[in-house]
Structure 1
């Protein structure tokens, strides 16, 4: 590595660590427009309709298209289009959904990792792409999207163990075969139930949440809930598990699932400082174990708190969303010499933190955009769909 590159990287760390060059938080719409523009660039660079997995800061290049997150970016673009009238976003969402159909495996599953990483299907990625197909069907009424969602959902049901746990087809990218955060994959089955009425899908979603509750401790903390180290999960996977429990509980009328999600949400609200900087990992006592923030998890928790506000009416949750977004907004560059960074959200703050260091993963920006739209909807009394 050249001396100039070494100095560049050290300068980026120093700026983040000292809080230099942070963005002055502005209206949600300004930050949202920049985030959507970044997602559009991340799609344009691939040339195949998918969205680049991440911008790699050190090597200054885009990674290949990522099926998993392209799938759940689709609802984000439709959501933004509904708010703004941006028809380009609708067209882009359709291209993403079509690309996902093109690469869907014969058995119905979706590839692990980015394109080229693996030729094997995995549970989590399949679940996340289902969200895109379901939303595309709802928006376009094109049976191809419903058929793809049904094929993927059927595969997920077929490989689920009787107790509701998925023990096969874990991601080779994580090294963990059992993941409580697959409640988010189970939520995708509930979404397929919404467009088909097939009880098998909802029953499977509920069974997975029932299994997940066997991993819950009295304080709400969940075992087997991390990509790497389940003794101190990322806020990213904490939020994944919470969202699945919350949404399936709300949809299926299971108050025990909603209560489990609320315990997690309350623990995270209690840990959130006034400045909105939330550490990126927590142990079983809900104590932070690191000094960096997982920006993806921050945004996901903002969304989850927004949903809790909608379900419970408790303004603490709405206010927590605004507080954590106030911090994340500061980390979003609205202008920079390096165009690939403008509007995007890093994996960690500081940039060398332990969650996707030196990267701008596309899902961080996706969840940020969703959190901004959630916050605006809740403050305006508008619908978030």
Structure 2
């Protein structure tokens, strides 16, 4: 821990307190009901959006918070992905200001130049499907065409592109985007090893990347009706479920053969995986997927500190547990919170995130 560069070393008392608590033991916070953790996490996301407003990026959401840099710059990708999260939360919690925040996020995306950002595309889709914004779909199509022309280098990039392109292509009825989605899906499936694992550019693969690939595979398989994608998703899901401990803990990275390759827990990956398990329970009607989701959510709850005077740290979800471990040490990612909120709502009220949208058959 102490060999880390000084820029990443926690030197403030509040940061040292977090480190000392993790040294004494992890996942020891009080576990409360879903609604309490849901509201707390959403309040932190509101603060992340306010932090970007204060820095001049009104409407956007900060990518996260770090012990060294403080609030990070605004992220179009995180902003886009959070729209589909805040809108159902506004309805479920009777919290209309969350819808106002989601609308501000959408306006911020629309003010930007169209680019090949999967997260931004999903935000524009949510603006069309959930807010009925007239311009959103056309802008999503423009960004999707830019994405289709982008060269992908990793499994995660192919997975994100396949999902975003399939979503826009299905919604707008555009065969060229559906073909581009199938192309990226094919490139992704070609990388999968027999056990279901996917390689990255080097070394062990983070749980966050593997869970992200799984999430995108599930939705792409549904949108395209692709049986090979379903089989690939099933291999990933079964492999990761088999590595989860009874208390919900999961290694932060894996090598081929689902060999644990990191002693820490990747909280964002675990939260996203919980959502994947709940989505599989919805799609397959197999209640067996709910148990690992519940175990994962319980472990994350015990890692969330919901008390304290520091509003940047209170209710935040650390990217790694213990806090000093892994490539995202001493940080709190906005997408960690997004995927935790998604999974909590999916379990509480059975909603679908991302929302299922009506397909348009290509002409």
- TM (normalized to structure 1)? 0.84
Quickly say closer, same or farther: Cα 1:220–1:350, change in 2 above 3 A. Answer: same
Residues 10, 330 of structure 2: 8 Å contact kept: no
Quickly say closer, same or farther: Cα 1:335–1:197, change in 2 above 3 A. Answer: same
Q: Secondary structure at the match of 2:260?
A: coil
Deviating more after overlay: 306-315 vs 342-351: 306-315
Asked whether 1:138 is paired with 2:133, we answer: no
Gaps of 5+ in 1: 110-122, 160-165, 168-176
**Per chain length, whose mean CA-contact separation is higher, i.e. which structure has more relative contact order (CA < 8 Å, sep 6+)?**
2
Deviation at 1:10, TM superposition (A): 4.5
**Alignment correspondent of 1:348:** 320
1 CA distance for matches of 2:226 and 2:163?
A: 13
Residues 262, 308 of structure 1: 8 Å contact kept: no
Residues 181, 238 of structure 1: 8 Å contact kept: no
Residues 166, 220 of structure 2: 8 Å contact kept: yes
2 CA distance for matches of 1:337 and 1:232?
A: 37
**Alignment correspondent of 1:170:** none
1 CA distance for matches of 2:158 and 2:313?
A: 30
Residues 279, 352 of structure 2: 8 Å contact kept: no
2 CA distance for matches of 1:4 and 1:152?
A: 39
Deviation at 1:179, TM superposition (A): 3.6
Residues 352, 358 of structure 1: 8 Å contact kept: yes
**Alignment correspondent of 1:14:** 20
1 CA distance for matches of 2:110 and 2:10?
A: 44
Aligned residues: 343
**Alignment correspondent of 2:174:** 198
**Alignment correspondent of 1:68:** 77
2 CA distance for matches of 1:256 and 1:151?
A: 28
Deviation at 1:4, TM superposition (A): 10
Quickly say closer, same or farther: Cα 1:237–1:269, change in 2 above 3 A. Answer: same
2 CA distance for matches of 1:86 and 1:206?
A: 39
Aligned residues: CA RMSD? 2.1
Deviation at 1:81, TM superposition (A): 1.6
**Alignment correspondent of 1:23:** 29
Residues 54, 62 of structure 1: 8 Å contact kept: yes
**Alignment correspondent of 2:270:** 298
Deviation at 1:66, TM superposition (A): 0.9
Counterpart among 217, 220, 240 of residue 196 in structure 2: 220
1:1-385 residue pairs with structure 2 within 5 A? 5=11, 9-19=15-25, 22-47=28-53, 48-59=58-69, 61-104=70-113, 108-109=114-115, 123=116, 126-159=117-150, 166-167=151-152, 177-223=153-199, 225=200, 229=202, 231-378=203-350, 385=355
**Alignment correspondent of 1:114:** none
Residues 127, 186 of structure 1: 8 Å contact kept: no
- TM (normalized to structure 2)? 0.89
